[in-house]
Structure 1
């Protein structure tokens, strides 16, 4: 790969990883950039998944240090995520990924509508969710895990919204939790892609280091912002990405 293209990818992945710690939807930006450099679609998706794993690790470390994550739910969330991610990664080998962007845009618009109608959601802690909401939160984790293992574009965004709406987390709690959960989703999918031999490892290593650093920077910024500002940034980005995806 020419050095100018590599530098372009590094810059795009660094900036995107910093911002997407809060917003999610990393792959809706990084994968198209990879495709524009001539990388084969499945290789782009698989190599991007490898880099996402390291971004999630980097982003999780500051949140763990600040004890922002509720660890009691994690075992079941991780189990459901692993099952879903495995199913989703397997689907990538058989289902064309071109059908997904329009679905993602519809889901994102739904997220915006829900968030505007529930303006306190994620800003003020509402305590413990009901049993029905908690159950739906676990169901959403499984379903979105399938999607995340398959494509990942918009996965963390939708998961963040689900945790705010169903588990009644604040935005900073939801952002922190989804980053930890996404480590397992991305890692499991990456292992399956490794067996399929579709990862560009030299490029993947460079982009993984880049996104690891970006993840640390992004999470430190998120910890300094209050939940109201996190909500504003989240919603504005979701609206922009939804429009961009529909027009693609």
Structure 2
């Protein structure tokens, strides 16, 4: 994701060129693979899916992000139903968090749609860089590799 985010942006006329057949095949193959990964591990799969949509389907950045959000909502709904069936959902906490997240997402979406695509991309790139920094410098790798419990 770091490479996809930091690579130079393509000019508008290149973005409008439809993807090649092999790019489409790769995109349609990666999507279910990443969905399974997301089902098992959750963390970062939407970001990886965004990178796949940017490269394989040649989507503009806002469209790739919006598409992955719809997929994330659908997968989260399925997970919620499965956990609810097992009685593992704290409904009171979940409803409070859902309400607050809805307000935040609505405000963020309205704010993002007013920004130029380059600024959205820069904010996203900053987030990815900070995540990479945290992974590289914030994880006690020596303890993990030696099998020590955190």
Runs of 5+ unmatched residues, structure 1: 1-110
Is 1:236 aligned to residue 140 of structure 2?
Answer: no
Q: Deviations over 1:73-96 (max 9, x none)?
A: xxxxxxxxxxxxxxxxxxxxxxxx
Q: Deviations over 1:192-211 (max 9, x none)?
A: 11122222111111001111
Structure 2 match to 1:208: 98
Q: Which has the larger radius of gyration?
A: 2
In 2, the alpha carbon distance for the partners of 1:147 and 1:199 equals 22
Please give the secondary structure, in 2, of the residue aligned with 1:198.
coil
Match of residue 30, structure 2, among 124, 132, 140? 140
In 1, the alpha carbon distance for the partners of 2:18 and 2:127 equals 28
In 2, the alpha carbon distance for the partners of 1:150 and 1:209 equals 26
Please give the secondary structure, in 1, of the residue aligned with 2:42.
coil
The alpha-carbon deviation at position 171 of structure 1 amounts to 0.6
In 1, the alpha carbon distance for the partners of 2:30 and 2:108 equals 25
Q: Which one has more relative contact order, counting CA pairs under 8 Å at least 6 apart?
A: 1
Q: Deviations over 1:15-68 (max 9, x none)?
A: xxxxxxxxxxxxxxxxxxxxxxxxxxxxxxxxxxxxxxxxxxxxxxxxxxxxxx
The alpha-carbon deviation at position 174 of structure 1 amounts to 0.7
Is 1:127 aligned to residue 9 of structure 2?
Answer: no
Structure 1-normalised TM-score?
0.51
The alpha-carbon deviation at position 152 of structure 1 amounts to 2.4
Please give the secondary structure, in 2, of the residue aligned with 1:245.
helix
The count of aligned residue pairs is: 136
Q: CA RMSD in A?
A: 1.7
Runs of 5+ unmatched residues, structure 2: 140-150
Is 1:197 aligned to residue 87 of structure 2?
Answer: yes
In 2, the alpha carbon distance for the partners of 1:203 and 1:151 equals 22
The alpha-carbon deviation at position 170 of structure 1 amounts to 0.8
Structure 2-normalised TM-score?
0.81
